[in-house]
Structure 1
C-alpha cells in the first residue's frame, strides 16, 4: 500500500469518526406570522367555532439530526383571538371560558420530542391556560420546505378537554373537546 492510499484511508476514517462524535448544531426557529395557531370546537353539536391567536411568541431549538434534544415553547396572547364567529368573542373571552381579563396569556412548553417516523414527532409538554397546567401531546409533522431551506413546514394537532382547564362544561352548547392546531412554517432566526 502506498503513502497516498494510506493517507486517503486515514482521512476517510477520521471524517467518518468526526461525523459520529461531532456535536450537532441545533438551530433556533420561530413561527412565521402567517402560521395558524388556534383551535376548533363544535358548537351546538353541528357547527364549528374556529379561533386564531394573532399574537404568538414562539421559539424552537431543533436539529433534524438529533430531534430528541429539541425543545419548543409558545406564549399566546388570549386577547388577540380572532374568531370565525365574532359574535361569540365576548362569551369566549369571558369568565366561563378563557377568562382573559385575569389570564391574558396561555403557554406551552415542551419537555420531550419523540421520533415516530421520518419527519413525524410526538411532542410532549405542558399547556398552561387559566393558571392551570396540564400535560399535552402534540402530534406533529416537521418537514423541510422544498422551496425555502430556511423554513420548516409544520402541522401539529392535539385534543384537550375544556373542563381540565377550569372552563365551564357544555356552556352555551360549546363542546367539551377542543382541537388545538398549528399549521404553517417555522423559520430560522
Structure 2
C-alpha cells in the first residue's frame, strides 16, 4: 500500500466517522402541544382569517453543528382545523378548498436545511395539500430556549398560492395568497 492509498483510506474512514458522529449528535424533537401550525389568508380583501391545525404529528432530527443532516416532517389532520371565523369552516373544509373528506391530511417533508447564521435557516421541502405536492421554502428561526435545554424555540413561515394546490380561485372572497406559519417550541424526545 502506498502513501496516497493510505491517506485516501484515512480520509474515507474520517468522513464515515464524521457522518456517524453527526447522526449520533442529532437530537430527535417533536412540537409541543401549545405550538401553532396554521395559516392566515385575507378574506374579502380586508379582514384576515386564521386557521390552526389542532392535531399535528411532527418530528425533527436536528443538530445545530450539522444542520445539513437535519430533517423535519409534519402531518396535519385537516378536520382538526379551528378558525378565527368559525362560520367559514364548512366552506374552507369543503370540496372547493381543502376537500377534507377526500384529503384528510396535509403534509410537509423537508429535503434540506440551509444555515444562514444567527439561528436562521432556509428549510426546503415539499408541501402536499389535496394530493398535490409542491416545493416550498420555510424561512425559519431555530434557537435553544435559554430557560430549558429540552426546548428549542421555532418560528417558520412561507407563502403559497391556493390555486397551486387545486383550490378554486376567487372563491367566497378568500384570498389567493396564504401565509403558512409554525411558531412555538420543539421539545426533545
Superposition deviation, residue 170 in structure 1:
1.3
2:4 corresponds in structure 1 to: none
Q: Distance in 2 between matches of 1:89 and 1:36?
A: 18
In the alignment of these two chains, the number of paired residues is 171
2:132 is aligned with 1:132:
yes
1:43 corresponds in structure 2 to: 43
2:133 is aligned with 1:116:
no
Stretches of structure 1 lacking an aligned partner (at least 5 in a row): 1-16
For residues 115-156 of structure 1, give each alpha carbon's deviation from its aligned partner in whole angstroms, at most 9, with x where no partner exists: 112210000000010000000100000000011000000000
1:23 corresponds in structure 2 to: 21
Q: Distance in 1 between matches of 2:42 and 2:118?
A: 32
1:8 corresponds in structure 2 to: none
1:157 corresponds in structure 2 to: 157
Cα RMSD of the aligned pairs, angstroms, is 1.3
* TM-score of the superposed pair, with normalisation by structure 2: 0.88
For residues 14-56 of structure 1, give each alpha carbon's deviation from its aligned partner in whole angstroms, at most 9, with x where no partner exists: xxx9xx9581310000000000000000000000000000000
1:148 corresponds in structure 2 to: 148
Runs of 4+ in structure 1 displaced over 6 angstroms? none
Q: Distance in 1 between matches of 2:131 and 2:21?
A: 38
2:10 corresponds in structure 1 to: none
Question: Secondary structure at 1:79's aligned position in 2?
Answer: helix
For residues 60-113 of structure 1, give each alpha carbon's deviation from its aligned partner in whole angstroms, at most 9, with x where no partner exists: 000011011100000000000000000000000000000000000000000000
* TM-score of the superposed pair, with normalisation by structure 1: 0.88
Q: Distance in 1 between matches of 2:45 and 2:134?
A: 25
Q: Considering only CA atoms, is the larger Rg found in Structure 1 or Structure 2?
A: 1
Q: Distance in 2 between matches of 1:170 and 1:73?
A: 30
Q: Distance in 1 between matches of 2:118 and 2:48?
A: 32
Stretches of structure 2 lacking an aligned partner (at least 5 in a row): 1-13
